[in-house]
Amino acid sequence: MIRENIEKAVKEALGAFGATDVSFVVERPGSFEHGDYATNAALAAGKFLKKNPKEVAELLTKELQGKIEGVEKIETAGAGFINFTLAGTAVKNIVHEAHEKEWGSNDLYKNKTVMVEYTDPNPFKVFHIGHLMSNAIGESIARVLEQSGAKVIRANYQGDVGPHVAKAIWRMKNSGIKIADLQSSAKAYVEATAIVEDNPEVQPQIDEINKKIYDRSDPEINALYDSGRKASLEHFEELYKTLGTKFDCYFFESESGPIGLEVVKKHTEVFEESEGAIIFRGENQGLHTRVFINKLGLPTYEAKDLGLAELKKEKARFDSSITITASEQTEYFKVVMAALIQIHPEWKGQFTHVSHGMMRFAEGKMSSRKGNVITGESLLMDLKDAAKEKMKERKIEDTEKIAEQVAVGAIKYSVLRQASGKDIIFDQEKSLSVEGDSGPYVQYALVRARALLRNAASAKIVPPQPAGPMPVERLIIYFPEVVERAANELEPHYVTTYLTELAAAFNSWYASERMIVDGTITSRSLAVVKAIENTLAKGLQVLGIPAPEEM
């Protein structure tokens, strides 16, 4: 990448002036008026050399002139910035590179194996908004890492035991609810939760069922549990297919629980007994205390997560493991990780938690405990129906398929358009708009580019008139480094922002200039459209957003 060539040349120039340990950045400036790249090297070196940054910038500019291949102009700006403008031939060459199959790839994670754990829905409960968000972020992180050379293992950890399961089974057992699908078991959970809130005296019955689920000691409960678990998992698989996710391995709390229980019992130097439970006292590390084995002798979520880490290590050899969950669990994970590293100091730095914010609607945050919830699945279905309604006036062959692709694109883009830790205010109408800042907007730009290429297939290619690089051409050059930054920071929103900008630049160019005139198209226009098409397609693929054939 040219940016790397600029960084290398600037570093060598700084070394010539004795500023070898100066940290600086080379990045895209705020406007093309300031070139294609800019650096703060002179500002940083000014402090080190005890010279005016403007003077250092002039010295560096003079030293760098003519030494960076592909750079046409180097000039100082402002208080000591240095701007770099690429030569037209360099931009042209990159545009042609953007036609390649491997466009946008990098070696940041070459020879690395990364396990990415995400989605993590719970059998016997609905697939809620948080699972949808975790899936969108996790799948895009997995793809960004793959684009950066990693071997990715997609993992899904599902809570198939625990209090929520016991509540659902208790309600089924006492009400005669038949398990036909996920909805019936989820309904049993919601009803049980409401009953327990009003009648706390039934809680011991649920606790007893919870224990029987763990030890598989009651045939009737086993049958209810097995049928409910099976129905839930089969339903989740259909959702994963819709979302474009295929997991490599599945982990379950029923597996991790017994392992975590033994780990906690074994490491008495890490845990201590308190009021009949076994806890990890986190205050010594600036954290809080959490229970790992409850008074009934059962493993809590914390112990299960310790067991999960053991299972992951047993299942695969990896350099790092990334878990995507709601930001509500950030402090929880700090405690679990602190306990894990005390048990396995050699695993330090191998487990990372990426948090996502909440999706909010007009009625505020929703709780699955009350049943009055817009689920992840129902949101997808609502978006699909709305997309079909918008397509009524158009002649589209497979409305069902396209509407589903648009719905998935709308929800994923809404989740991925900002840093993962931030909350989202979801607006259905805006999410489906093809006018800008939405998944369908980028999808439609790709459909338009492909239609243009189909029409150009029968056009005569003619030489272009001499002209400098257009803004849309100059934008194309940044795609590989945007992907690399997204991988380095585990933040796919950089790709989302870039694709929206590229789609806008393409649409602006498309509106202002006729590409095909009297059956001809210039070689330059054709090359640029091909580069845009491939970049948009690659970008959507990296985000896990479908690319409809028509819209």
Domain boundaries, the chain: 2-86, 118-360, 376-388+396-543
Residue 362's pLDDT band, with cuts at 50, 70 and 90, is low
Q: What is the predicted pLDDT for the residue at 368? A: 39
CB contact set of 83 (below 8 Å; sequence gap of 6+): 29, 34, 35, 37, 38, 73, 74, 75, 76, 77
Q: Following CA atoms 529, 534, 537, 540 in sequence, which dihedral angle do they give, to the nearest 10 degrees? A: -100
Over residues 483-496, the mean pLDDT reads: 98
Burial label for 335, CB within 10 Å (0-12, 13-18, 19+), is buried
- Cβ atoms within 10 Å, residue 311: 20
Over residues 368-384, the mean pLDDT reads: 77
Q: What is the predicted pLDDT for the residue at 180? A: 66
Pick the CATH number of 118-360 from 3.40.50.1460, 3.40.50.970, 3.60.21.10, 3.40.50.620: 3.40.50.620
β-pair partners for 462: 522
Residue 372's pLDDT band, with cuts at 50, 70 and 90, is low
- Please report how the helices 493-512 and 523-543 are oriented relative to each other, as an axis angle in degrees rounded to 10: 150
Over residues 503-511, the mean pLDDT reads: 97
Residue 48's pLDDT band, with cuts at 50, 70 and 90, is confident
Q: What is the predicted pLDDT for the residue at 177? A: 75
Residue 22's pLDDT band, with cuts at 50, 70 and 90, is very high
Q: What is the predicted pLDDT for the residue at 185? A: 86
Return the top range by mean pLDDT from 125-129, 258-262, 360-364. Answer: 258-262
**3-class SS of residue 401:** helix
Amino acid, res. 377: E
Model confidence over 525-548: pLDDT tens digits?
A: 999 999 999 999 999 999 999 999
What does 417-469 look like in DSSP terms, one character per residue? TS-TTS-EE--HHHHT-SSSSSHHHHHHHHHHHHHHHHHHTTSEEEPPPP-PP
Does domain 376-388+396-543 match CATH 1.10.730.10? Answer: yes
Over residues 150-172, the mean pLDDT reads: 96
Measured CA to CA, the distance from residue 417 to residue 424 in angstroms comes to 9
Over residues 52-75, the mean pLDDT reads: 96
Over residues 162-168, the mean pLDDT reads: 94
Contact present, 375 and 183 (Cβ < 8 Å): no
pLDDT at position 364 over 70: no
Helices (H), 344-398: 376-390
- Please report how the helices 2-16 and 53-64 are oriented relative to each other, as an axis angle in degrees rounded to 10: 110
Model confidence over 407-420: pLDDT tens digits?
A: 999 999 999 999 99
pLDDT at position 242 over 50: yes
What's the mean per-residue pLDDT of the chain? 94
Report which of 162, 160, 121, 122 is spatially closest to residue 138, judged by C-alpha positions.
121
What separation, in Å, do the N-terminal and C-terminal C-alpha atoms of the chain show?
35
Q: What is the predicted pLDDT for the residue at 366? A: 52
The b/e string for 72-92 (b: 16+ C-beta within 10 A; e otherwise) is: bebebeeebbbbbbbbeebbb
Q: Which two tokens stand for residue 290?
A: 């959490």
Pick the CATH number of 2-86 from 3.40.50.620, 3.40.50.1000, 2.40.40.20, 3.30.1360.70: 3.30.1360.70
Contact present, 498 and 539 (Cβ < 8 Å): yes
Measured CA to CA, the distance from residue 261 to residue 267 in angstroms comes to 10
Q: What is the predicted pLDDT for the residue at 485? A: 98
CB contact set of 21 (below 8 Å; sequence gap of 6+): 48
